[in-house]
Amino acid sequence: MKNWNDIWKGRKAEHGKLEYTDLLALNGYDMAQSNLNPTNLPAAQELYAKEIGLERGDDIYEVACGAGAFMHYWSTLGHPVGGSDISASLIDCAAAALPHGDWAVADAETFPVGRRWDHVTSFGLCMYISPETLKTMIGRMIMKARRSISIYDIPDLSKKAQCEDERRRLIPDYDEKYQGLGHHYHSKEELTAWFEGLGLNCKIWDQEIPGYENAKWRFNLVVTI
Distance CA 26, CA 38 (A): 14
The residues facing 105 across adjacent strands are: 85
Please report the domains of the chain, with CATH numbers, ordered by start residue: 4-224 (3.40.50.150)
The residue count of the chain comes to 225
Residue 221's pLDDT band, with cuts at 50, 70 and 90, is very high
Supply angle C-alpha 23, 26, 29, rounded to 5. Answer: 85
Q: Is the distance from CB of 218 to CB of 207 less than 8 angstroms? A: yes
- Nearest alpha carbon to residue 73 among 83, 81, 84: 81
| 17 — pLDDT class (breaks 50, 70, 90) | confident
Instruction: State how far the Cα of 125 lies from the Cα of 151, in Å rounded to an integer.
Output: 9
Model confidence band, residue 163 (pLDDT cutoffs 50, 70, 90) = confident
Answer whether residue 124 shows pLDDT above 80. Answer: yes
pLDDT of 5: 66
Instruction: State the distance between the two ends of the chain, measured CA to CA, in whole angstroms.
Output: 41
Cβ pair 153, 207 in contact under 8 A: yes
d(C-alpha 78, C-alpha 74), whole Å: 7
Averaged pLDDT of the chain: 90
The pLDDT confidence band at residue 168, using thresholds 50, 70 and 90, is: confident
**Which residues lie closer than 8 Å to 1 by C-beta, 6 or more apart?**
179, 180
pLDDT average, residue stretch 141-153? 98
Q: What is the pLDDT of residue 31?
A: 72
> What pLDDT is attached to residue 35?
87
Cβ neighbours of residue 128 closer than 8 Å, sequence gap 6 or more: 4, 64, 183, 184
pLDDT per residue over 59-109, tens digit each?
999 999 999 999 999 999 999 999 999 999 999 999 999 999 999 999 999
